[in-house]
Structure 1
């Protein structure tokens, strides 16, 4: 039965897409009931951390709900307000699949085995490769890169090699999350603030370029003193075929970004919905153009079923978060929570710092940045009275992304910890300064955008 949950979940997601084109209160109510059923199914199957988060949101949401004027019969629609995010997560595997079908993932392996003389040069190359493929592969890119680097760096002293891997891969990974339209953190920030992706993108790219340059210079200086083993270099010059694949990947990324911005400006649809509707046809056409349609279908269908069958953590998080956020918005308790923000309303930069610190503190306790953004979403009305939408979108996105390399119990840090057999706290420690600089840059840029 568990292997066929994707059929039930897919039906709900398709119904949600239909309501985006044809708004109907009855269907919205039905979607709320179906969201509750998804929660009931997914809760026992979710990880312990997400069960705790979901329970906390439900309990807090219940106590907030009883202080509102909302009738019990009106609860179902409150549960389905985050279905757009779940639908986006369900279609993302198709983009991942065309990258794998086109064997672009093997391109990373070639890039990481290229002709370099020292670890400083390899550091910059590793960060670049991670940033490029993470935009399409997300966590899978980190797994591929770490496997290749661990193997390549065996002749290097283990402490140095481990430090290299946990820095290069996590930092490169975070740099891609800042501007990729496929990243959920950006989708939620835009969902909360209502800012156009095209307006946000230049700011995100500016921060990415700045952080990339700063980190690359640091990496070249810090790791430049370690020689890369000559025996591992061999004949690893990039072939014309590899260069062609790099050009194809860059073109696909630029085209997808352009399509998202263009369609978002022409049609009056939310950013999340535009990306959701664009992913599959874009991936299909891409696979067709490179002659990998059959592989795309085989890989994509299996990956879609696996992902949809196992999205219990996000179902628990987003459904309970929707109940909590809607209850908070309608509760008198919101006024009490708003008081600390109102006290510093004349000092927007203080609010920006408070938002960043909240993300850092929550990440240290294993709270996913998505959950933190969701909590802040309940205060979005007040925050938007003090900060403009663009500034708020910048600080929400950068604050969330800045905590990714230091989120002690985050997915990527956990995977790195398992691959290297290192304490997640050590990984957090090595990336702490980087994340602090990242967060500070985010605060500064958000202040500039005020």
Structure 2
């Protein structure tokens, strides 16, 4: 019962947060903080055990630090609201997902997976391209959609080959597609923490993304080209062109980015807030242009309500991280965390590789990259004042997203494990070389920019 109504409280919290930005009244800040704590408590029941443990560790550590260093003060009550901008972005993302589905672009792009190809090497390239395009717009939904289509297309193959092919194409495309998406939360965090503008990062993130995708598609084509592909009858498609929907989606994304630039420059809002405010009106205008407004509202409302009602994991993580990070900044413990990185102060390139390695190591223990990036930001912040912050921003993004293919307890690997009926550790092992390649391309690019 609580879960089915969680979206109402979440909406109230985000609405109050946005109001306090435009109308900075102290009383509203405290009301928002109180409701955020209530949201945190109500989210415990619906969160997974892993995120409950993470929340317990972060909040418990913060409380110990507060008592140890006698940091109790009036502002402590406001600490939970520090990450509401990120939760606000997550709150709005389903509407962009919904407008793409309302236009039927998800089904049209997936026709790339249903065409006749001579071998699995060619299908690997098609599957990667289709998944990449879909993920750019509908994020996690693209993963289950592409995997479902591929399961049908490959059902005549042996199970081990199916599992390998699906877990490689879809997860890898997912990880690289998000590398430059303005709607990716890790990019928003990187922009906020380093002060580097999104459009300063964009060409380099696109380079990392496209280069990694190209290399993986070439390797996949060579690896699978000796295997003939004969799709089942229901997987055969006509010659319907996907060029038009791809061009429309590309144009829409370009307009979306231009809208962010214009509104950001006119209002002076930061990147996260601008994206949050632009998503819904942009989606509405797009649906009107397609003459699919009613369908958009129907799909959008139910998708948004369902996603919001099941966002307990992220609520626990972001609110707990806000309390932990804000508290940590007020204590000398931060110096201890920074020490290993500051020891390499004269060799920034080593620090960048250390960051990449930290992401991979933490993902093995089920630590979400958002939790890892929060600690890394605090650890390397002094170095960003001396070296090129753009380099750190690129590694923050590429290192974090590389773990989407190998995080044994992460959402993407767990979902793939369930969809393909295979051990998540096998998925991790199979994708580890790619994760290292992806992270290394990002890190080497960052080093060249130092």
Q: TM-score, normalised by structure 1?
A: 0.96
Matched, 1:255 2:271: no
Q: Secondary structure at the match of 2:183?
A: coil
Q: Does 1:107 align with 2:108?
A: yes
Q: Provide the C-alpha distance between the structure 2 equivalents of 1:233 and 1:124, rounded to a whole number of angstroms.
A: 21
Q: How far apart, CA to CA, are the structure 1 residues paired with 2:232 and 2:308?
A: 44
Counterparts of residues 67-82 of structure 1 (less than 5 Å) = 67-68=68-69, 70-82=71-83
The answer (yes or no) to whether the contact 1:109–1:145 under 8 Å persists in 2 is yes
1:226 alignment counterpart: 227
Q: How many Å separate the matches in 1 of 2:133 and 2:278? A: 20
1:396 aligned partner: 396
What SS class does the counterpart of residue 378 from structure 1 fall into? Answer: helix
Q: Which moved more, 1:372-381 or 1:115-124?
A: 372-381
Aligned Cα RMSD in Å? 1.6
| Uncovered stretches (5+) of structure 1, i.e. residues with no partner | none
CA–CA separation in structure 2 for the residues paired with 1:70 and 1:380: 24
Q: 1:383, 1:263 → 2: CA distance?
A: 32
Q: Determine the C-alpha separation between the residues in 2 that align with 1:235 and 1:359.
A: 41
8 Å CA contact 1:36–1:76 kept in 2: the answer is no
Give matches, 1:179-328, under 5 Å. 179-229=180-230, 232=233, 236-240=237-241, 242-328=242-328
Aligned pairs for 1:143-158 within 5 A: 143-158=144-159
1:125 to 2:126 alignment: yes
For residues 387 and 120 of structure 1, the distance between their equivalents in structure 2, rounded to whole angstroms, comes to 42
Going from structure 1 to structure 2, the CA distance change for 1:53 and 1:34 (only over 3 Å counts) comes to same
Paired residue for 1:354?
A: 354
Q: CA offset at residue 232 of structure 1?
A: 4.5
The residue aligned with 1:406 is 406
Displacement of 1:234: 7.8
CA contact (8 A) 1:13 1:83 kept: yes
Q: What CA distance in whole angstroms lies between the structure 2 residues aligned with 1:238 and 1:346?
A: 58
Kindly tell me: are residues 231 and 14 of structure 1, through their superposed partners in 2, closer, same or farther at Cα, counting changes over 3 Å? Answer: closer
Give the structure 2 partner of residue 140 of structure 1. 141
Deviation at 1:385, TM superposition (A): 2.5
Indicate if the aligned counterparts of 1:67 and 1:331 stay in contact, CA closer than 8 A: no
Distance in 1 separating the partners of 2:128 and 2:403: 17
Tell me the equivalent position of 1:364. 364
Q: Distance in 2 between matches of 1:155 and 1:234?
A: 11
